[in-house]
């Protein structure tokens, strides 16, 4: 037989369980919003940490503000513009176009504009096939992978390289149709070098209306390139001696002035950094005992530039 004391304890336990507050859906949503805002803030800080690109950062902030306000207006049943964020990135190589595209896609996901926020990066070879009908299939497959995220088409002008009979036109047509059929489900960014991209847009005037946003990525200044190099060395746990710093600054000026058209901005700087680290390794290999200080220090003789590589737009 159960004692009265035990019965009272069981009864009070049932009462306590009944009176526990139920989880508040608003509280859960608030927590989700808070974490999303924190992630968005972290992505913004990552963007701001990129050296230079002030005009690009300003435009990205405008895109964020525009998208957020249009969503708020729509939620309050106010007249709102459709959120069309298909964009053209114009800039020379090594100006962080791909990096910014990846950040933008993640930002749009945290804002609720995109479902996933991933980036699918393609170029002509990924979209254009050799036989009739295959190009449309390849392009649709790339679009399918990009659903909920961003499709980044690098050197997009190459799609018009062969003229009217080239299958690149089929890729463009398939892409444009998907942008209409799947409006709001993914974002397309066409990227490329300034002159060929301008020529590409002139050959297909209809693209201007489908890509309402255009962001120009300026070349880095000498000072910005030096800071990028310092950052790359620092990430790899190397420090520059005074002589190495002078040599690096001189090398950047020489390479930019020698051939500004083929100069690859941050891409060239990365090649210089990697070449310099290899040269330091060769120098140290001849020593029997190497100290930590020697392992992390770059000397003037280590700093080497890359050989000039010429590129063809078409």
What HEC string does 33-92 produce?
A: HHHHHHHHHHHHHHHHCCCCCHHHHHHHHHHHHHHHHHHHHHHCCCCCCCCCCCEEEEEC
> Which has the closest alpha carbon to 211: 168, 175, 185, 181?
175
Domain residue limits at 295: 222-302
- Looking at the structure, tell me whether residues 93 and 201 fall in a common domain: yes
Q: Is the domain of 147 the same as that of 288?
A: no
Confidence of residue 3 (pLDDT cuts 50, 70, 90): low
Cβ of 70: how many Cβ atoms within 10 Å?
Answer: 16
* Mean pLDDT to the nearest integer, 212-219: 92
* Total domain count, the chain: 2
**pLDDT tens sequence across 99-138:** 999 999 999 999 889 999 999 999 999 999 877 778 999 9
Output the domain CATH number for residue 115.
3.40.50.300
Cα(187)–Cα(228) distance, integer angstroms: 29
Average pLDDT over residues 140-160: 94
Residues 199 and 253 in one domain: no
Q: Does 158 lie in the same domain as 72?
A: yes
Looking at residues 50-69, what average pLDDT do you find? Answer: 92
Name the band, by pLDDT with cuts 50, 70 and 90, for residue 29.
low
In this structure, are 211 and 231 located in the same domain? no
274 in a structural domain: yes
Same domain, 68 and 142: yes
CA atoms within 13 A on the CB side of 74: 11
Segment among 9-18, 159-168, 223-232, 254-263 with least mean pLDDT: 9-18
Is residue 5 domain-resident? no
Question: Would the CA dihedral through 161, 165, 169, 171 be positive or negative?
Answer: negative
Q: Answer for the pair 10, 3: CB distance below 8 angstroms, yes or no.
A: no
């Amino acid at each position: 037989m159960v004692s009265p004391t035990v019965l009272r304890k069981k009864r009070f336990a049932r009462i306590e369980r009944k009176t526990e507050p139920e989880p508040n859906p608003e509280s859960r949503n608030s927590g989700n919003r808070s974490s999303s805002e924190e992630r968005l803030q972290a992505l913004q800080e990552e963007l701001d940490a990129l050296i230079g690109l002030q005009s690009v950062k300003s435009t990205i902030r405008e895109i964020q503000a525009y998208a957020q306000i249009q969503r708020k207006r729509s939620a309050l049943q106010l007249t709102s513009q459709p959120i069309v964020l298909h964009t053209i990135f114009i800039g020379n190589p090594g100006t962080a176009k791909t990096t910014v595209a990846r950040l933008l896609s993640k930002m749009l996901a945290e804002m609720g504009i995109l479902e996933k926020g991933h980036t699918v990066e393609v170029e002509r070879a990924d979209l254009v096939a050799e036989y009739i009908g295959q190009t449309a299939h390849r392009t649709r497959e790339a679009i399918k992978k990009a659903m909920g995220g961003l499709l980044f088409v690098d050197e997009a002008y190459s799609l018009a390289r062969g003229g009217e009979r080239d299958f690149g036109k089929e890729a463009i047509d398939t892409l444009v149709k998907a942008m209409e059929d799947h409006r709001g489900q993914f974002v397309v960014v066409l990227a490329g070098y300034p002159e060929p991209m301008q020529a590409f847009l002139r050959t297909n005037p209809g693209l201007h209306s489908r890509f309402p946003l255009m962001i120009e990525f300026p070349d880095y200044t000498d000072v910005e390139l030096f800071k990028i190099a310092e950052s790359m060395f620092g990430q790899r746990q190397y420090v520059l001696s005074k002589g190495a710093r002078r040599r690096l600054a001189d090398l950047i000026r020489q390479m930019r002035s020698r051939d500004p058209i083929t100069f690859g901005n941050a891409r060239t700087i990365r090649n210089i950094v990697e070449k310099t680290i290899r040269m330091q390794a060769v120098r140290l290999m001849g020593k029997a005992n190497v100290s930590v200080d020697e392992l992390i220090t770059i000397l003037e003789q280590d700093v080497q530039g890359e050989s000039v590589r010429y590129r063809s737009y078409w």
